[in-house]
């Protein structure tokens, strides 16, 4: 994304590890606006600029964390001197480590840019640079890259957890936040929206209005996304059988699980498993 100015890169999205780390500094720069196929973490220390993610515009100032998911459109408009540190992970590999994010992915999506303290910034930068250093080796150890990526996502979740202590900061109703957390706890046993509505003491219609208004998705989509993310993670583990994965995410019939998985990915669980590579 950062192609002019002072640039240092490690890794290659076209190689097996499909991970790229970039350090950039400069001013008056605009990156290309395109739909990403990767999960992107960017740390910025900026005097002035903006990060456009889908239809949202996020002002750049001081120390910040930026997260962009596969399928989102984004570009930076740098207006004054800025330092940027960016890690890009191919979608197929992100699906193997995304469970390290402790909260629903929808919560990260609706708050993709977070202000950081200098201490938080430096802690995340330490992890990103460790990944970059490993990618720079003649023979990068993919196990180390994977471990560092998970640690980075866990640190991001820890930062987000501090912000969540003040629900008003996230501008979402407490009932919706509780729903997202309940799904994290029960998705592998409870696939029905009615279960969650009863737990929250609200109607299914009210829950639908909340998710549509604040997340632009249905409650069913939230549940399915959690099931799918865990299914993909498990299927990337070797050796593991389709039946084992099926039971762990709450299905009892393999045909039903296969239909569920293929309807969302275009591939059967077996095809997906064969397509995965070691991260």
Q: What pLDDT, in 10s, does the model give residues 123-171?
A: 999 999 999 999 988 888 888 888 899 999 999 988 887 776 655 555 6
Which of 167, 186, 221 finishes a domain? 167
CATH number reported for the structural domain that contains residue 152 in this entry = 2.60.120.10
Same domain, 99 and 220: no
pLDDT band at residue 279 using 50, 70 and 90 as cut-offs: very low
Same domain, 154 and 229: no
Neighbours of 212 (CB within 10 A): 13
Counts for the chain of helices (H) and strands (E), in that order: 12, 9
Q: Read off the pTM.
A: 0.78
Q: Spell out where the chain has E strands.
A: 6-12, 19-26, 29-30, 34-35, 38-53, 56-68, 73-78, 82-90, 113-115
The mean pLDDT value of the chain amounts to 87
Q: What 8-state DSSP symbol labels residue 266?
A: S
pLDDT of residue 58: 93
Same domain, 133 and 265: no
Q: Which residues contact 23 (CB under 8 A, 6 or more apart)?
A: 7, 8, 9, 83, 84, 85, 86, 132
Same domain, 117 and 179: no
The owner of tokens 């998911």 is 69
Residue 16 in this model has a pLDDT that exceeds 90: no
pLDDT band at residue 4 using 50, 70 and 90 as cut-offs: low
Number of domains in the chain: 2
Residue 15 in this model has a pLDDT that exceeds 70: no
pLDDT of residue 104: 81
Same domain, 102 and 229: no
Same domain, 19 and 93: yes
Coil, helix or strand at residue 31: coil
Same domain, 224 and 103: no
Same domain, 127 and 17: yes
CATH number reported for the structural domain that contains residue 264 in this entry = 1.10.10.60
Given a contact cutoff of 8 angstroms between Cβ atoms, the answer to whether 235 and 276 are in contact is yes
Same domain, 37 and 109: yes
| Token pair of 174 as six digits | 């407490």
Q: Is residue 1 part of a domain?
A: no
pLDDT of residue 120: 95
Same domain, 119 and 216: no
- Give the range of the structural domain holding residue 232, as residue numbers without chain letter: 172-275
Which of 116, 147, 167 finishes a domain? 167
Same domain, 116 and 15: yes
pLDDT of residue 95: 81
Q: Is residue 106 part of a domain?
A: yes
Q: Is residue 249 part of a domain?
A: yes
pLDDT digits (tens, 9 = 90+) for 194-253: 999 999 999 999 999 999 988 889 999 999 999 998 998 888 877 889 999 999 999 999
């Amino acid at each position: 994304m950062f192609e002019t100015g002072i640039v240092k890169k490690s890794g290659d999205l076209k190689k097996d590890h499909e991970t790229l780390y970039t350090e950039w500094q400069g001013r008056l720069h605009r990156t290309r606006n395109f739909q990403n196929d990767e999960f992107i973490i960017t740390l910025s220390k900026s005097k002035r600029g903006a990060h456009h993610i889908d239809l949202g515009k996020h002002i750049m100032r001081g120390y910040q964390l930026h997260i962009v998911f596969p399928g989102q459109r984004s570009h930076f408009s740098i207006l004054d001197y800025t330092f940027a540190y960016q890690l890009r992970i191919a979608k197929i590999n992100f699906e193997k480590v995304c469970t390290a994010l402790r909260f629903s992915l929808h919560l990260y999506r609706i708050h993709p840019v977070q202000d950081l303290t200098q201490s938080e910034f430096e802690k995340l930068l330490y992890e990103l640079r460790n990944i970059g250093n490993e990618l720079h080796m003649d023979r990068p150890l993919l196990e180390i890259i994977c471990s560092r990526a998970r640690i980075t996502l866990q640190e991001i979740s820890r930062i987000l957890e501090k912000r969540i202590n003040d629900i008003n900061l996230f501008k979402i109703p407490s009932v919706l936040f509780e729903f997202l957390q309940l799904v994290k706890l029960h998705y592998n046993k409870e696939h029905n929206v009615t279960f969650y509505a009863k737990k929250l003491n609200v109607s299914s219609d009210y829950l639908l209005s909340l998710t549509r208004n604040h997340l632009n998705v249905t409650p069913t989509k939230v549940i399915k996304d959690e099931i799918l993310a865990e299914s993909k993670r498990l299927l990337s583990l070797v050796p593991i059988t389709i039946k084992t994965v099926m039971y762990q995410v709450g299905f009892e019939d393999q045909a039903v699980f296969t239909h569920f998985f293929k309807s969302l990915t275009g591939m059967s669980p077996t095809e997906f498993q064969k397509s995965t590579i070691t991260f």
